[in-house]
Every structure is written in structure tokens, then in C-alpha cells.
Structure 1
Amino acid sequence: MKKYLYALLCLFLPAVSAIATENTAPAEVMGAVTVDTAVAKRLYDQGNIFIDVRNLEYFNYEHIRGAKHLDVNSELFTAGDLNILAEKDQGVVFYCNGIHCLGSSKASKKAAEWGWFKIYYYREGFPKWKEAGYPTASFEYPESVAH
């Protein structure tokens, strides 16, 4: 019985590993500088523009304080959308939900293709930022808006 289970494990483990790897964000993106949480915080303190590419519900629930939202998974995502948030000579930091979220790598790649040149790819993303205790915010409806 143990041999049978071991044989099954040997057959299925590579397949599970391949699936997990498919959903892991790349370590690097051409045209962008990959940064960890400590460097992301320095960039934040320097006033670089943080762009949250997670879905709007995640963003509204909680995000890096001062971050702007950009739906990178929209079919309508264009250079014009990014240009509204940042000029091409401004530093932009893209983040999403960590290493299993592909949005920030996709946004970083597109920004490089569109001519931005101060691109920071924050691969560790919001979970590590929050874990470090750095500033976060959530969307709050104005008092005058009925829910």
C-alpha cells in the first residue's frame, strides 16, 4: 500500500508543482525594477506614485494609503489610462496581491512597452506591505451618500 501511495505521489507532485508555478508572478519584468517591501516603503516615502492593479473591490476594502487604482485586467486598459495617473517621467510602483497575483507584472510590462521608464514592480504586494505595518486606507463613502 505504501509503495502504491508513493508511486501516486511521484506521478502527481510534478503536475501540482507546474500548476502552482503557472500562477506565480515572474521574479522580474523587462523594463522594470523589482523591489521588495523595504524598497517599496522608501519609494513611497519619496513620493513615487503607487498604483493598485487589484480588482476594485479589493482596492475599496483596503489599499496602500495614497495609492491610485487601475484595472489592469480590463480589456479597455490603455496607455491613456496610465497617463491619467502618472506622467512618463514619474516613478510608478505597481502592486497587487503578492507573488500569486499576475496583475502588477502585467502592468509593469505594459508601462515599459508604452514608454514609461521609472517603473517599479512590487512583486510582494499588498499582503507584505500590510504585514510590515505600513500605511493603509480603505474607501469611505461620504456621509451624504446613502448606502
Structure 2
Amino acid sequence: MIENLRSSFLAATLVAMPAIAVAVEEAPMTVTGATTVTVDESLELFDQGVAFVDVRKPSDFEAGRVAGAINLDLNDGFSQESLLEVAGLQDPVVIYCNGAACLRSSKAIAQAVSWGYETVYYMRDGYPVWDIAGFPVE
């Protein structure tokens, strides 16, 4: 089901894009020290009460987010201190951004791991696929 959602989202995105060749760097599939999770696996973590951190810019966050997520904009607000206010070093945490074309979550996760976070989940598909799946949003 999620694979079909990804394909539909990609197709809709491509149709909406102008016919200009643009090189887009894709987010890595994995980040050393973290566990990459699908949106379905992320929903299980959500149901367990794991903290979700959205590292997108505030305007993206305000337009829609995983229900209960905390916004720590990677470029203005994401720090060791701010992350510690959300989750301790041994606490699980899910970090996400805008999906495969967004590098913010992979960068934030690399930082969190370097700060000693032990249970970091990388929701690579990000908010767009979470929303398309019909999972809880605000």
C-alpha cells in the first residue's frame, strides 16, 4: 500500500513540476547509527508514544505535521540542548522532514548520533507520505 502511495505522490509531483531539468540530491537511504523506518513502522512507534521531531522550516511545520510532533528547524533551533528537551540520550526519537528530496532529517540524525543518542529512527519518507497514508496529523 505505501509503495503505491509513494508512486502516486511521485507521479503527482512530477506532473506538477515544470519541464526543466533540475538536479535534486536525494536523501540517503540510511544514516549511520540510526534505524531507517517506513511510515508504517513509524506509526507503530507513534502508537507507543515515541517522540517525533520535525526538522522542517516553521512554515512547513505550520502547514501540517505528524500529530504531536515538535518542530526543531534544522537551520534555526535544532541543537543538542533543544533535542534534550524532547528526548534524553537513551529515549527513542523519530526524526523526519519532507521525504526523499529533503536532507534535513539525515543531517539532524547524524548530529543526534554524534551527541550520543542511542535510539534514533529515520523516517526517510517524511511527512508527505505520512499524510498521504492518512495517519494522524495536525
Q: Confirm or deny that 1:73 pairs with 2:75.
A: yes
Code of the residue aligned with 2:26 in structure 1: it is: T
Deviations 1:55-93 (A, max 9, x none): 00111121000101101123x642111111111111100
SS in 2 for 1:93: strand
Distance in 2 (alpha carbons) for counterparts of 1:61 and 1:38: 22
Corresponding residue number in structure 1 for 2:137: 136
What's the TM-score, normalizing by structure 1?
0.76
What's the counterpart of residue 60 of structure 1?
A: 62
Q: Hey, what does 1:125 align to over in structure 2?
A: 126
Equivalent in the alignment of 1:28 = 30
Aligned to 2:50: 48
Q: 1:38 to 1:118 in 2, by over 3 A?
A: same
Counterparts of 1:77 and 1:134 in 2: how far apart (Å)?
A: 25
Contact 2:55 2:78 in 1 (8 A): no
Contact 2:98-2:125 at 8 Å conserved across structures: yes
- For the pair shown, the structure with the greater C-alpha radius of gyration is 1
Identity of matched residues, %: 41
Structure-2 separation of matches of 1:123 and 1:33: 10
Is the contact between residue 90 and residue 119 of structure 2 (CA under 8 Å) also seen in structure 1?
yes
Q: Which residue matches 2:3?
A: none
In structure 1, distance between residues paired with 2:78 and 2:55: 11
SS in 1 for 2:102: coil
Q: Which runs of 4+ in 1 moved over 6 A?
A: none
The separation in 2 between residues aligned to 1:89 and 1:77, in whole angstroms, is: 18
Matched, 1:113 2:114: yes
Query: How many residues are paired up?
Result: 118
* Alpha-carbon distance in structure 2 between the residues aligned to 1:77 and 1:129: 22
Compared with structure 1, are the counterparts of its residues 114 and 61 closer, same or farther at alpha carbon in structure 2 (3 Å cutoff)? same
Aligned to 1:6: none
What value does the CA root-mean-square deviation take over the aligned residues? 1.3
What secondary structure does 1:136 align onto?
A: coil
Runs of at least 5 residues in structure 2 that lack an aligned partner in the other structure: 1-20
Q: Name the amino acid aligned to 1:28.
A: T
